[in-house]
Amino acid sequence: MTKSYLVDTNIFIQAKNFHYQFGFCPQFWQWIEAAHVSGVVASISKVHKELKEGRPTCPARIWADRLPKPFFRDDEKNAGVMESYKKVMGWAWSEKEKGKFTLGAAQDFSQVQRADAFLVAAAIHYGCDVVTQESLKPPTGCMSTIQIPNAAQAFGVNTITIFDLLRMHAGPAFTFKS
């Protein structure tokens, strides 16, 4: 069985703004779609909502709106994801109480409109890894942000970068490979 991955919003935004702009690298976006069809790549509804916050002419927003509905898996409407979300929230606030995160970090991570905690919860529920450009922050006193990899690690969820995913599943000119 092939491992599957849930993609964070920052992957799409950074790709659109930097390395894989629509104007000169449409193959990257086609690769994402091919990887989804092959059952390797998906995301969650909260990520889609974050992409829709962009201006109506944003290429990433337009592209995301054209994807098949199953690309963005249910999060808030899935009881299993919400059960995992409760655990992720409990962890965040427990770690704040232990002095590992500031109050602001816990509050920011807990905002219901943000995808980060839902992404970790969905990865737990669906048994996926998370693709994000965020990196694991070693505990150094009271941290002011909760990074996805820190929350994911607490629940045994692996995180990788888009470059790691491409090394595993992209051939020359972004052809998809199993």
Q: Which residues contact 151 (CB under 8 A, 6 or more apart)?
A: 88, 91, 92, 109, 116, 117, 120
Q: Which residues pair with 44 in a beta bridge?
A: 73
Supply the pTM of this predicted model.
Answer: 0.94
Q: Give the model's confidence band at 174: pLDDT under 50 very low, under 70 low, under 90 confident, else very high.
A: confident
Average pLDDT over the chain reads 95
Predicted confidence (pLDDT) at residue 1 exceeds the cutoff of 80: no
